[in-house]
Structure 1
Amino acid sequence: MDESKPPTDGPLKCSEQAGQHQDVFTPPEYTMKEIYDNIPAHCLQPNTWLSLFYILRDYFFVLILVSVATQIPNIPYPYLRSTAWFAYAFVQGLVFTGLWELAHECGHGALSKSKAFNNTCGLIIHSMLLVPYYSWKITHSTHHKTTNNLDKDIAFVPTIKEAYQADRETHNKAWDYIEDMPIVAIIHLFFHQIVAWPIYLTINNFALERMAKVPWWKRSHFYLGGDGPNFRPENTREILISDLGIGAAALALWGLVQYFGAWNVMLFWGFPWMWTNHWILTITYLQHTDTSIPYYPNKTWTFVRGAASAVDRDFGFIGRVIFHGAIETHVMHHHVARIPFYHATEATAAVREVMGSHYKYDFKTPYMWAFWRNHRECVYVEETQKDSQIYFFAKMK
């Protein structure tokens, strides 16, 4: 079997892996030295020209799709015309997400040895998508340094059982009767997937308890004060540059609205951008949420344990070509984030050899079904072994 690619001989799903390992779970004991020793040296060497090719390729895709979309108004049938606009927004949203992933690679310094190249490209791409490049780069770095640490991580930190139960005591009891209805979950997810990402960037509404004590504007990725929970005074210049990048993008969009009209800007940019918000949340959620992966309080957490607590999944052509393999190679990425995506598959095979059974993947469950299933099943975490200080998502009845 080619270890550089997902297994094709009936791989276990994460839930099946959890069933095998969770009840007798032993944290990983391998070292980062073993990981680095097993990764081919060339995987750590980015190629600036190759990286630039992929960036220009994705922008070329954007322009081709825009050119095709200019012909949609000529379609004489209203329903067919609406279908064509929906298809355009969906496909352009995928391409936008691929560009977002490239800017994410820039934030890790993975596309070039040149900081100027990484930061210039990352700033341009993320600003176009209304993401503050440097600000998010800083908070994302915190996530990488504290992955699945229940006390310190800042992304997709699950609720512990006791806190979940205490919170439910304050809810309206009527909610208990409707919260499990599929239609309620669908409505919640629809609005969540559209607005949660920009709201998170603006007010950090998913803040942990230690952050929630701080006013929302100090939690914001746009805050320049330097006295918030995420940024230090020395970060002020970078945050200002990020804010100016967003301001320039907003000004460009305003100019387009004045020239082409607000509805046309929504059709060509706005609706694809909303799809991008959906994919960003979906990708990052599924990379870090599953019943098979452990979560640790600070007392038992280590970097290797956190890095191993991610999941690789398969999204077919979309994941491998348009999203640049970000979905399929995320476990490796959390071990060595500076490996460029075009070496990630090979590096993943090397990392898997070291991780053994601690490597978690699901190349079997359809991607969006896994998203729906985990939103329904992954509600709170609890210790599965008494006094282990290791937590897993409880299996909901």
Structure 2
Amino acid sequence: MTTHNAKELRKQVAPYESSNIKDSIIQMLNTIVPFLAFWFLAYQSLAISYLLTLAFAVLAAGFMIRIFIIFHDCTHHSFFKNRKANKIVGTLTGVLTLFPYSQWGHEHSVHHATSSNLDKRGTGDIWVMTVDEYMAAPFLQKLAYRMYRNPFVMFVLGPIYLVLITNRFNRKGARLNERMNTYLTNVLILGISALLIWAIGWKAFVMVEGPIFFIAGMLGIWLFYVQHTFEDSYFEADKDWEYVRAAVEGSSYYQLPKVLQWITGNIGYHHVHHLSPRVPNYKLEEVHKNTKPLQNVPTITLSTSLTSLKFRLWDERNKQFISFKEMKAYERNSKLTTQTKPEL
């Protein structure tokens, strides 16, 4: 993509970079109210059947993901035009989703500024090693990476670690405002949890809230994972890295059924979001449909996205993700080359 084309593309998207107060309020109402209703129904159903409770928990988890999209837009200051309104609503939705607004917003901004940049990995993204890095890594680092990329660790243990540990502590070097926001979020979460435990008992609280946050967290990590982990993605060293190419080639279009698209707040149009984070979630589909170049981006579906589970390492030579199984072939070929190399 040429510099001219990149500027033209961003120019086409610019008119959509403004929120609509009416649409934002409607989204808050049709998201938060159903979430609270399904939470209450999950609690009430404990007296009938825990399977019914889990069914309501799944529905509540879906709306928790939608609440997270509101939180996410607020961190980009795209949900409201007023920055203070974004911070207030972002902090409150962060309490509901168990995420600290300022801390996560900082890390996510770094993610947007460095996504697909091989020289600036490590903040707000998923750990990705290149083939060469993996081959040169010591045994313990290889083991740690394999454990990290294991689906059980990433999607089952990951949400627990993220919500209970990572989100509860400030990052090193955080400014006072960010630290205070994390403390406020933690206090509000503890206060609401204590109030609910007092009202319904700790056992009922855990049986309802536990599966909701776990399911939402697992699906949330999955969404983030598949939107940046697909075979022909985009990764470049800093000297060759381009923001627009990273957005439209390194972020996928996750083509979901309409119901799931609505529940996930159109985040499947991730290429549009990375190109312009100031576009509110309820305008992402419109941008995609009205901007021709954005319709020719990497597209994945529910079925094809499952193949992303096998992608583990970035092959810089062939510009694609490969599996650990394919990595073994690289290692064998490397050994054969070393063994057959003629002595000088």
Question: What is the TM-score when the length of structure 1 is the normalising length?
Answer: 0.73
Is 1:57 the equivalent of 2:30? yes
Q: Distance in 1 between the 2:44 and 2:191 partners?
A: 26
Is 1:380 the equivalent of 2:342? no
Q: How does 1:349-360 map to 2 (within 5 A)?
A: 349-351=289-291, 353-355=292-294, 357=296, 359-360=297-298
Amino acid in the other structure paired with 1:342? Y
Structure 1: where are the runs of 5+ without partners? 1-26, 76-80, 205-219, 386-390
Is 1:361 the equivalent of 2:295? no
What CA deviation, in whole Å up to 9, does each residue of 1:213-249 have, x standing for no partner? Answer: xxxxxxx8733762xxxx4xxx321231222112211
Alpha-carbon contact 1:104-1:122 (below 8 Å) kept: yes
Alpha-carbon contact 2:18-2:279 (below 8 Å) kept: yes
Is 1:287 the equivalent of 2:234? no
Q: CA deviation at 1:339?
A: 0.7
Is 1:272 the equivalent of 2:212? yes
**Secondary structure at the counterpart of residue 288 of structure 1:** coil
- Which residue is equivalent to 2:335? none
2:18 is aligned, of 17, 24, 45, to 45
1:158 is aligned, of 112, 117, 128, to 128
From the superposition, tell whether residues 87 and 185 of structure 1 become closer, same or farther in structure 2 (CA, over 3 Å): farther
Alpha-carbon contact 2:95-2:189 (below 8 Å) kept: yes
Q: CA deviation at 1:285?
A: 0.4
1:199 is aligned, of 150, 153, 161, to 161
Q: How does 1:55-94 map to 2 (within 5 A)?
A: 55-75=28-48, 81-94=49-62
From the superposition, tell whether residues 317 and 267 of structure 1 become closer, same or farther in structure 2 (CA, over 3 Å): farther
Q: Distance in 2 between the 1:48 and 1:130 partners?
A: 25
Q: CA deviation at 1:343?
A: 1.3
- Which residue is equivalent to 2:85? 117
Q: Distance in 1 between the 2:233 and 2:54 partners?
A: 36
- Which residue is equivalent to 1:104? 72
Amino acid in the other structure paired with 2:7? K
Q: How does 1:131-142 map to 2 (within 5 A)?
A: 131-142=99-110
Q: CA deviation at 1:260?
A: 1.7
Alpha-carbon contact 1:40-1:347 (below 8 Å) kept: no
From the superposition, tell whether residues 169 and 190 of structure 1 become closer, same or farther in structure 2 (CA, over 3 Å): closer
Range moving further from structure 2, 313-322 or 303-312: 313-322
Q: CA deviation at 1:66?
A: 3.0
- Which residue is equivalent to 1:223? 170
Alpha-carbon contact 1:98-1:322 (below 8 Å) kept: yes
Q: Distance in 1 between the 2:260 and 2:83 partners?
A: 27
Q: CA deviation at 1:121?
A: 0.6
- Which residue is equivalent to 2:254? 313
**Secondary structure at the counterpart of residue 315 of structure 2:** strand
**Secondary structure at the counterpart of residue 313 of structure 1:** strand
| More helix per residue | 2
**Secondary structure at the counterpart of residue 289 of structure 1:** coil
Structure 2: where are the runs of 5+ without partners? 327-344
What CA deviation, in whole Å up to 9, does each residue of 1:109-167 have, x standing for no partner? Answer: 11111112111111001122221111000010000011111121320242111222234
Q: CA deviation at 1:31?
A: 4.1
What CA deviation, in whole Å up to 9, does each residue of 1:303-347 have, x standing for no partner? Answer: 1222121101123134322111112x1101001111111211111
**Secondary structure at the counterpart of residue 225 of structure 2:** helix
What CA deviation, in whole Å up to 9, does each residue of 1:55-105 have, x standing for no partner? Answer: 122111023213433442343xxxxx2321221121111111110111101
- Which residue is equivalent to 2:322? 394
- Which residue is equivalent to 1:298? 238
Work out the percentage of aligned pairs sharing the same amino acid.
19
Q: Which has the higher contact order (CA 8 A, sep 6+)?
A: 1
**Secondary structure at the counterpart of residue 294 of structure 1:** coil
**Secondary structure at the counterpart of residue 291 of structure 1:** coil
**Secondary structure at the counterpart of residue 393 of structure 1:** strand
Amino acid in the other structure paired with 1:383? E
Alpha-carbon contact 1:193-1:281 (below 8 Å) kept: yes
- Which residue is equivalent to 2:8? 34
Alpha-carbon contact 1:111-1:118 (below 8 Å) kept: yes
Q: Distance in 1 between the 2:22 and 2:61 partners?
A: 25
1:324 is aligned, of 265, 273, 276, to 265
Q: Distance in 1 between the 2:295 and 2:281 partners?
A: 22
Q: Distance in 2 between the 1:332 and 1:120 partners?
A: 26
From the superposition, tell whether residues 98 and 190 of structure 1 become closer, same or farther in structure 2 (CA, over 3 Å): same
What CA deviation, in whole Å up to 9, does each residue of 1:250-288 have, x standing for no partner? Answer: 222123223322221122222101111101100100110
- Which residue is equivalent to 2:329? none
Question: What is the TM-score when the length of structure 2 is the normalising length?
Answer: 0.83
**Secondary structure at the counterpart of residue 62 of structure 1:** helix
